């Protein structure tokens, strides 16, 4: 079954607030999140899944589950097919005590971004090759999000912002926002490269100390 990412006439923040209000409870599963999104589609879900990473609060296990879901959604965008998600991932219980307040804070940040989003550079967001490239970029962001670096500042925030901007840009046909998403992906890649180099240098220093 093919999928179609239609233009959205509703502000992203309004959709997020409405969805967050519908999932309050003791626990939530990815399946329930997808149901709550309804006809708004998978790009809205993709944006929703980035919200916990927009503020410096670590929720154990979220980056793995949400990152995997984002990768599957991005694969659907690339292949233009509805995504298949394993039942184990769909039914995994996530505590909402910390998640819902975090989602609300993320939605507050998106509401400020809404003022700057508008249709422009539409050729970067229309169906075809551009959307497949954007889907590949979202997948790359999801992979970066799953890296076990949650305790390091900005390691989840940078790819989360990149994915959010890509999803919003595609939904609102805003090529400038899509380009901003690519910028944050580049920034994340450079940041992770610096972390790897620092870890390698520290390891070399320690090995020299004990020789």
Task: Specify the DSSP class assigned to residue 124.
Answer: G
Per-residue pLDDT tens for 112-126? 877 888 888 888 887
Q: What is the mean pLDDT of residues 4-28?
A: 67
Per-residue pLDDT tens for 82-91? 666 677 777 7
* Whether pLDDT at 209 is above 50: no
* Whether pLDDT at 162 is above 60: yes
Asked if residue 144 lies in contact with residue 188, where contact means CB atoms within 8 angstroms, the answer is: yes
Minimum mean pLDDT among 4-18, 37-51, 91-105: which range? 4-18
Under the banding of pLDDT at 50, 70 and 90, the label for residue 208 is low
Helix axes 96-113, 42-50, angle to 10 degrees: 110
Helix axes 12-22, 96-113, angle to 10 degrees: 170
The closest of 64, 50, 48, 46 to 14, measured between CA atoms, is 48
Residue 151: the pLDDT is 63
Residue 136: the pLDDT is 93
Q: What is the mean pLDDT of residues 24-35?
A: 71
* Whether pLDDT at 2 is above 50: no
Q: Which distant-in-sequence residues (6+ apart) come within 8 Å of 211 by Cβ? A: none
| Average pLDDT over the chain, rounded to an integer | 77
Residue 100: the pLDDT is 77
Q: How far apart are CA 130 and CA 58, in angstroms?
A: 33
Residue 1: the pLDDT is 44
Residue 139: the pLDDT is 93
Minimum mean pLDDT among 35-44, 56-65, 140-149: which range? 35-44
Share of the chain above pLDDT 70, in %: 76
């Amino acid at each position: 079954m093919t999928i179609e990412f239609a233009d959205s006439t509703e502000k992203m923040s309004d959709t997020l607030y409405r969805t967050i209000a519908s999932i309050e409870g003791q626990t939530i599963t990815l399946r329930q999140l997808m149901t709550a999104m309804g006809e708004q589609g998978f790009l809205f879900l993709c944006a929703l899944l980035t919200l916990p990473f927009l503020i410096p609060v670590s929720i154990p296990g979220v980056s793995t589950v949400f990152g995997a879901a984002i990768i599957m959604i991005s694969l659907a965008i690339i292949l233009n097919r509805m995504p298949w998600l394993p039942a184990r991932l769909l039914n995994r219980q996530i505590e909402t005590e910390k998640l819902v307040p975090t989602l609300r804070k993320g939605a507050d940040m998106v509401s400020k971004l809404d003022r700057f989003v508008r249709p422009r550079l539409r050729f970067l967001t229309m169906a075809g090759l551009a959307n497949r490239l954007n889907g590949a970029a979202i997948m790359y962001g999801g992979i970066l999000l799953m890296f076990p670096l949650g305790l390091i500042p900005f390691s989840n925030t940078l790819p989360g912002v990149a994915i959010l901007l890509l999803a919003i840009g595609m939904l609102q046909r805003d090529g400038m926002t899509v380009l901003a998403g690519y910028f944050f992906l580049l920034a994340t890649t450079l940041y992770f490269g610096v972390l790897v180099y620092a870890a390698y240098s520290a390891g070399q220093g320690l090995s020299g100390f004990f020789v």
